[in-house]
């Protein structure tokens, strides 16, 4: 159970019982299988050999694994965003302005019991979110435009605002919906949305970061660095 709860459910192990005795026995399994259906007849005299393996659900999927129209939090920023969201088992994420739903999908894969509600105004993108969730074997509750669709949605533990930062009232609605102690993380790529996050930071505190990364690409017979769009990120814990 402990291995599964800490993202090591795919770890293989062997239980060696009564070694050297007439009832010596070896049984093999995985942490997840035994957590779901533990055997009841394991001898008290045993040795357990464990081969630690990462749980497949925690692996980071590349951008091309998602159906999207360009509105996707790119892989390097997705990793940083999930780190800021800090998922824990059983928590629910609201992915507001979800785009492809990559954050929601990755959230659901992070820990057992993690769930997500994705809010997206564009119908085609909502279909992409549903497709991506099904492709990764997770369940994401896909809803319409925020904040109108907030009312009857299951309450969040954490909120990610990936689009609509400059939409009047949306940031405030997200904060109002967040429980005390919950985290809100918002990303911005435009000057206007960056200004909105800077203003929120000046009022409410939290942490304000700016990320810039480069990709190595062919340049003639050499390799050059191509800058990617910088991303400003604001994260805050509601008091």
Residues 47-66 have pLDDT tens digits of 888 876 655 555 678 888 89
Q: Are residues 28 and 79 in the same domain?
A: no
End of a domain among 11, 30, 55?
A: 55
| 73 and 42 belong to one structural domain | no
Query: Which pLDDT belongs to residue 63?
Result: 84
Domain final residue pick, 55, 72, 88: 55
Indicate whether 36 and 86 sit together in one domain.
Answer: no
Q: What is the pLDDT of residue 130?
A: 95
Q: Note the pLDDT of residue 55.
A: 56
Predicted pLDDT at 56: 55
Query: Domain boundary residue among 10, 35, 55?
Result: 55
> What are 184's two structure tokens?
């809100």
| pLDDT at 43 (0 to 100) | 81
For the chain, list residues with pLDDT below 50: none
pLDDT in tens, 204-224: 999 999 999 999 999 999 999
Identify which of 181, 194, 128, 134 has the alpha carbon closest to the alpha carbon of residue 155: 181
Taking phi over 0 as left and psi of -120 to 50 as alpha, with beta for the rest, 86 belongs to left
CATH of the domain at 225: 3.40.50.150
Say what the pLDDT of residue 59 is.
Answer: 65
Together in a domain, 187 and 226? yes
Q: What pLDDT does 37 receive? A: 80
51 and 144 both lie in a single domain: no
pTM: 0.76
In this predicted model, what pLDDT tens digit does every residue of 98-121 receive, in sequence order?
A: 999 999 999 999 998 999 999 999
| Shared domain check, 100 and 28 | no
Both 46 and 157 in one domain: the answer is no
CA distances from 102 to 76, 98, 99, 212, 225 (A): 12, 8, 8, 20, 26
Q: What pLDDT score was predicted for residue 222?
A: 97
Residue 12 is predicted with a pLDDT of 81
Same domain, 47 and 86: no
* Same domain membership, residue 83 and residue 37: no
Same domain, 32 and 103: no
Range of the domain at 163: 60-237
For residue 147, the model assigns a pLDDT of 97
Instruction: Assess whether 205 and 97 both reside in one domain.
Output: yes
Q: Quote the strand ranges of 136-227, DSSP E.
A: 140-143, 158-161, 183-188, 207-211, 214-219, 222-227
Q: How many domains does the chain have?
A: 2
Asked if 180 and 64 sit in the same domain, the reply is yes
């Amino acid at each position: 159970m402990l291995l599964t709860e800490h993202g090591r459910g795919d770890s293989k192990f062997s239980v060696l019982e009564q070694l050297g005795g007439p009832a010596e026995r070896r049984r093999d399994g995985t942490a997840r299988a035994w957590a779901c259906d533990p055997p009841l007849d394991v001898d008290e005299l045993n040795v357990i050999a464990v081969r630690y393996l990462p749980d497949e659900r925690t692996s980071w999927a590349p951008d091309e694994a998602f159906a999207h129209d360009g509105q996707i939090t790119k892989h390097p920023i997705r990793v940083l965003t999930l780190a800021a969201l800090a998922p824990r088992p059983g928590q629910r994420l609201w992915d507001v302005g979800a785009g492809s739903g990559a954050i929601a999908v990755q959230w659901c894969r992070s820990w057992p019991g993690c769930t997500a509600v994705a809010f997206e105004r564009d119908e085609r993108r909502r279909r992409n979110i549903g497709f991506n969730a099904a492709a990764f074997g997770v369940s994401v509750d896909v809803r319409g435009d925020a904040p109108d669709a907030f009312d009857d949605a299951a309450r969040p533990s954490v909120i990610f605002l990936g689009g609509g930062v400059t939409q009047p009232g949306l940031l405030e609605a997200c904060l109002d919906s967040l429980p005390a102690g919950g985290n809100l993380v918002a990303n911005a790529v435009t000057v206007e949305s960056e200004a909105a996050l800077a203003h929120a930071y000046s009022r409410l505190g939290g942490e304000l970061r700016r990320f810039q990364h480069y990709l190595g690409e062919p340049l003639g017979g050499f390799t050059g660095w191509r800058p990617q769009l910088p991303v400003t990120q604001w994260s805050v814990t509601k008091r």
